[in-house]
Copies of this chain bind each other. A is one copy, B any other.
Amino acid sequence: MYPQLETDSEQDQRATKVRLLTSNSSGSNPKATSCDTAAKKAPPPSKWRRALLRHAPVFRWLPAYNMEWGIDDFISGITLGLTIIPESIACALLAGLPARYGLCSAFIGPLIYLIFGSIDKVIIGPTSLVALVSVQFTVGRPIEFAFLLTFLSGIVQIIMGALRMGFIFEFISMPVIKAFSSATAILVIESQLKVLLGIKYLVPGLVNSVRTLSSRIHEANIGDLVMGICAIVFLLLLEVSIRVDSTIGWLATSDFLQLLERVARNKKRGKALRIFCRYLSTSRNTLIVFIAAIVSYTWLGFTEHLPYALSSNALSSLPNFTVPSLTIETPERTYSFWQILNELNVGIIVIPIVGILTNISIGKLTPKGLVDTNHELLTVGLCNMFGSCVQAMPSSGAFTRYAISTACGLKTPMANLYLGVIVLLALGYLSPYFNYIPEATLAAILICSIFTLLDFKLPRRLWKESKRDFGIWLLCFCVCVLFGVEVGLFVSIIVTALHLLFLWARPEILVKIEELDEMQFISVVPGNGIYFPAINHLRGLVLKACTQAEFRITVVIDGHKISGLDYTAAQGISKLSSDLCRQSDASSSTLLILYRFPAHLQHLIDVTDNLVFCENETKVKEFLTQESLRNGYINLKEHIRASIDLGYKIDIE
């Protein structure tokens, strides 16, 4: 890890006034875990320098950059470049765009992320997830819609970042993220099946798509299928080899790999071969594309028609840098900006959120652990905004690239530089040759790369350990698969939020009969803060217990777990005391003792005749003694005690 200078927010706080830790600081200080040693030696940086360090993390690691990192980054960069090229083309096709627009998205993002990116192993570029979601908003519309969607996504991300709205991502729980990615994987695989089979159609929704596929299965082209399956087998073999390499002792499942392994373990030739092996594996996507393209090229020398489909590509030059126009003119009609917004609909909210989601998830996997979501929003927003100027599709980090950068031992975002250059070179010189890549090969690449997102171990674990989380997983997964990922994400966030709200409405409240010096009382222990949705529940429970005890013994509400109380709840407690007063005989009213209530909450509660505050047990004992002197010694019958302890009535007949 490269050393990291002390972040700005800490420096700020040094100068500012005392702030209690309990105050809500809306998660603005995620880099507090960085190593402070460097900062202590350096003189305190100026205001401008601090801002620079905060907003452009490149200046944090660049001064300490060294040869060793350089080599690792160079190798990672080249490998990632070779990986991202076929992946981008495949994503472009998935998004319904010509191949080269994928590449256009794969060079500007990394170059911007190099400067502003805060998560090392995030490599910005097109992803199948974002492509899958964005195609729903651009399908059947002019191609400019895609670029404008990129632009608007960027703007929305920048606005969200500037407004520090990153905290909303904290309301997406892990089961939701996992179900969402598994569902995406399923949808992407399904969408690529038809490409593997050489069948061409475009229908929205998984159900429709499966129905269409099954009705047209007889149109399947054996050439595409063979090409696709060959590619998948090739990719799987090489992917397995990377796992062998990284975790020695893992049993190789193919003879080929065992052979490689055996060779690799030969001590003399071992190291070089193992490195070769690893890079063979990490560049497997490029390799298969390269092989397939050569096959197609050679084959076309002998015959005019290939038995499989090739990807088509419109232009072949470097993209122009042009700010996207906010109106779109086509021969058929002209779209005004408002019409475009209307057509893109919720896309301009969903795409930014989905894009950032991957980055955050990757950030959580990295050792540094804590992600500054707002900074990430700003950075990815910039990537998208500038990306749209070179006709890019919406971009974000991707798990596949994270896996490869980890395998290659990427050290700093410098790798982005090499990656960007490779992609630019490919765009400039290789564009014409993209036409020789078979579509089925690209489908194979997408299918194999998305497999990492399929995770069915989690739901099995959730089923065993937390049924509620499993329910959320299942809901999110089903809705994503059946009604689209954006609907699934939205529904799950709403459901988890409603559950959190419900927790405020029905907090854990323990009601029991307890004894202190043989004096009985009803002990009520609320588990959380008591806010307005819970107060009637609390009152109901207490009144029920009191009714069963015939309003004869004192009620003690133990507030030591209460962290908060609002006006409505405080009024409810006052009202509870008057309920107790009214319900009991005129002669004696039931006393309500509020025990260990935080002092700052006490003033909210109106004091009535039969309501007292106690700070310690001695005081409670005093009041209980007073009450028993006043009312005589009362001992509840066993069945009443049990009724109250169990929360329902036991009848003796």
Which residues in A have some Cβ–Cβ distance to B below 8 Å? Answer: 10, 13-14, 16, 18-22, 24, 26-27, 29-30, 32-36, 167, 170-175, 364, 367, 369-370, 462, 465-466, 468-469, 496-497, 500-511, 527-529, 531-534, 536-537, 539-541, 543-544, 546-547, 560-561, 563-564, 566-568, 571, 575, 579, 582-583, 603-604, 645-651
**B19 and A648 within 8 A (CB):** yes
- Docked pose: A170 CA to B502 CA in angstroms: 10
**A26 and B506 within 8 A (CB):** yes
Residues of chain B within 8 A (CB-CB) of A505 are 167, 170-171
24 contacts between A and B (CB under 8 A): A10-B649, A14-B649, A14-B650, A16-B648, A18-B646, A21-B509, A29-B540, A33-B540, A33-B547, A36-B547, A170-B533, A173-B567, A174-B532, A174-B567, A369-B543, A370-B536, A370-B539, A465-B603, A500-B531, A500-B533, A528-B528, A528-B529, A528-B563, A561-B563
The 5 closest A-B pairs by CB, nearest first: A21-B647, A527-B563, A32-B544, A13-B648, A173-B532
**A508 and B563 within 8 A (CB):** yes
**B533 and A566 within 8 A (CB):** no
Nearest-Cβ distance from residue A610 to partner chain B, whole angstroms:
15
Nearest-Cβ distance from residue A367 to partner chain B, whole angstroms:
5
A28 to B, closest residue via Cβ: B540
**B33 and A579 within 8 A (CB):** yes
A34 to B, closest residue via Cβ: B547
**A370 and B501 within 8 A (CB):** no
Nearest-Cβ distance from residue A446 to partner chain B, whole angstroms:
29
**B503 and A370 within 8 A (CB):** no
- Docked pose: A27 CA to B535 CA in angstroms: 11
Residues of chain B within 8 A (CB-CB) of A501 are 171, 497, 500-501
Residues of chain B within 8 A (CB-CB) of A560 are 561
- Docked pose: A27 CA to B502 CA in angstroms: 12
Residues of chain B within 8 A (CB-CB) of A533 are 170-171, 500
- Docked pose: A648 CA to B604 CA in angstroms: 31
Given known pairs A500-B531, A544-B33, A603-B465, the reply for A14 and B648 (CB within 8 Å) is: yes
A170 to B, closest residue via Cβ: B533
**A469 and B567 within 8 A (CB):** yes
**A647 and B529 within 8 A (CB):** no
**A646 and B20 within 8 A (CB):** yes
- Docked pose: A145 CA to B534 CA in angstroms: 38
Which of A16, A30, A503: most chain B CB closer than 10 A? Answer: A503
A24 to B, closest residue via Cβ: B506
**A543 and B32 within 8 A (CB):** yes
A568 to B, closest residue via Cβ: B174
**A500-B531, A528-B529 provided; 16 other pairs, C-beta below 8 A?**
A10-B648, A10-B649, A16-B648, A21-B541, A26-B506, A27-B540, A29-B544, A36-B547, A175-B568, A369-B539, A369-B543, A466-B566, A497-B501, A500-B504, A503-B531, A503-B564
A458 to B, closest residue via Cβ: B567
Given known pairs A173-B568, A648-B10, A648-B19, the reply for A466 and B27 (CB within 8 Å) is: no
Nearest-Cβ distance from residue A28 to partner chain B, whole angstroms:
10
Nearest-Cβ distance from residue A586 to partner chain B, whole angstroms:
13
A473 to B, closest residue via Cβ: B567
- Docked pose: A533 CA to B370 CA in angstroms: 14
